[in-house]
Amino acid sequence: MALLQISEPGMSAAPHQHKLAIGIDLGTTNSLVATVRSGMSTVLQDQHGHALLPSIVHYGEAQQVIVGHEAKVKQNADPVNTIASVKRLMGRSLKDIVDKAHIPYRFVSPPSDDASQGMVLLDTRAGLKSPVEISAEILKTLKNRAQAALGGELTGAVITVPAYFDDAQRQATKDAARLAGLHVLRLLNEPTAAAVAYGLDNAAEGVYVIYDLGGGTFDVSILHLSKGIFEVLATNGDSALGGDDFDHRIYCWILDQIRDANPSKQPLSEKDTRLLLTKARQAKEWLTENEEAQITCKLSSAYTVDVTLTAAAFVELTENLVRKTLSPMRKAMRDASLDLTDIKGVVLVGGATRMPHVRQAVQDFFQQAPLTNLDPDKVVAIGAAIQANVLAGNRSGDDLLLLDVTPLSLGLETMGGLVEKVIPRNSTLPVARAQDFTTFKDGQTAMSIHVLQGERDLVSACRSLARFELRGIPPMAAGAARIRVTFQVDADGLLSVSAREETKGVEASISVKPSYGLNEDAIIDMLKSSFSEAESDKKARALAEAKVDAMGIISAIHIALEQDGHLLNAVEKEAISKHIKALETALAGEQSRAIHDATAALNTATEAFAAKRMDESVSRALAGKNIDEVNL
Partner 1 sequence: MSQNYFKLFDLDQSFCIDLSTLERHYRKIQSAVHPDRFVTASSAEKLSAMQQATLANEAYQTLKKPASRAKYLLSLSQIDATQETNTAMPMDFLIQQMAWRETLEDCKADKDIAGLEQLATEMRQAAHLLAEELNRLFDEQNDLSAATDATRKLIFIDKVCEDINKAITQIED
Tell me the catalytic residues: 25, 87, 190, 212
What does R_g of the chain's alpha carbons equal in angstroms?
A: 26
SS3 380: helix
Any contact of residue 323 with partner 1 (CB under 8 A)? no
> What is the spatial distance between Cα 254 and Cα 237, in angstroms, rounded to a whole number?
29
Any contact of residue 196 with partner 1 (CB under 8 A)? no
Residue 210's alpha-carbon distances to 81, 207, 501, in angstroms, are: 35, 10, 44
Query: Which residues in the 154-183 window bind partner 1 by CB under 8 A?
Result: 156
Q: How far is the CB of 384 from partner 1 (least distance, A)?
A: 13
Any contact of residue 127 with partner 1 (CB under 8 A)? no
Q: Of the listed pieces 5-13, 245-253, 262-270, 288-296, which binds partner 1 according to CB under 8 A?
A: 5-13
> What is the spatial distance between Cα 11 and Cα 521, in angstroms, rounded to a whole number?
33
The DSSP secondary structure of 446-460, one letter per residue, reads -EEEEEEESSSSBGG
Strands (DSSP E) found in 326-396? 343-349
Any contact of residue 556 with partner 1 (CB under 8 A)? yes
Any contact of residue 560 with partner 1 (CB under 8 A)? yes
SS3 411: strand
Any contact of residue 611 with partner 1 (CB under 8 A)? yes
Query: Which residues in the 281-310 window bind partner 1 by CB under 8 A?
Result: none
- Residue 378 or 613: the one with the smaller Cβ distance to partner 1 is 613
Q: Which of 12, 117, 144, 288 forms a contact with partner 1 (CB under 8 A)?
A: 12
Q: Which of 148, 477, 524, 614 forms a contact with partner 1 (CB under 8 A)?
A: 614
Any contact of residue 621 with partner 1 (CB under 8 A)? yes
Q: Of the listed pieces 36-44, 128-136, 303-311, 383-391, which binds partner 1 according to CB under 8 A?
A: 383-391
- Residue 229 or 371: the one with the smaller Cβ distance to partner 1 is 229
Any contact of residue 123 with partner 1 (CB under 8 A)? no
186-205: buried (b, 16+ CB within 10 Å) or exposed (e) per residue?
bbbbbbbbbbbbbbbeeebe
> What is the spatial distance between Cα 617 and Cα 113, in angstroms, rounded to a whole number?
50
Q: How far is the CB of 400 from partner 1 (least distance, A)?
A: 9
Any contact of residue 625 with partner 1 (CB under 8 A)? yes
Candidates 490, 450, 463, 366; CA nearest to 408 is 463
Q: How many residues bind partner 1 (CB under 8 A)?
A: 58
> What is the spatial distance between Cα 485 and Cα 495, in angstroms, rounded to a whole number?
13
Q: Quick count: other Cβ atoms within 10 Å of Cβ 41?
A: 22
Strands (DSSP E) found in 289-399? 292-298, 304-310, 343-349
Any contact of residue 269 with partner 1 (CB under 8 A)? no
Any contact of residue 627 with partner 1 (CB under 8 A)? no
Q: How many residues does the chain have?
A: 632
Q: Cα dihedral angle (177, 179, 181, 182), rounded to 10 degrees?
A: 10
Per-residue contact string for residues 324-343; x = within reach of partner 1 by CB under 8 A: ---x--xx--xx--------
Candidates 253, 308, 252, 286; CA nearest to 355 is 286
- Residue 93 or 325: the one with the smaller Cβ distance to partner 1 is 325
- Residue 3 or 618: the one with the smaller Cβ distance to partner 1 is 618
Q: Of the listed pieces 196-204, 377-385, 508-516, 603-611, which binds partner 1 according to CB under 8 A?
A: 603-611
Candidates 166, 225, 183; CA nearest to 489 is 166
Residues at the site binding partner 1, with contacts judged by CB under 8 A? 8-13, 156, 185-186, 226, 229, 327, 330-331, 334-335, 387, 390-393, 397-398, 401-403, 427-432, 488, 490-491, 552-553, 556-557, 560, 602-604, 606-607, 609-611, 613-615, 617-618, 620-622, 624-625
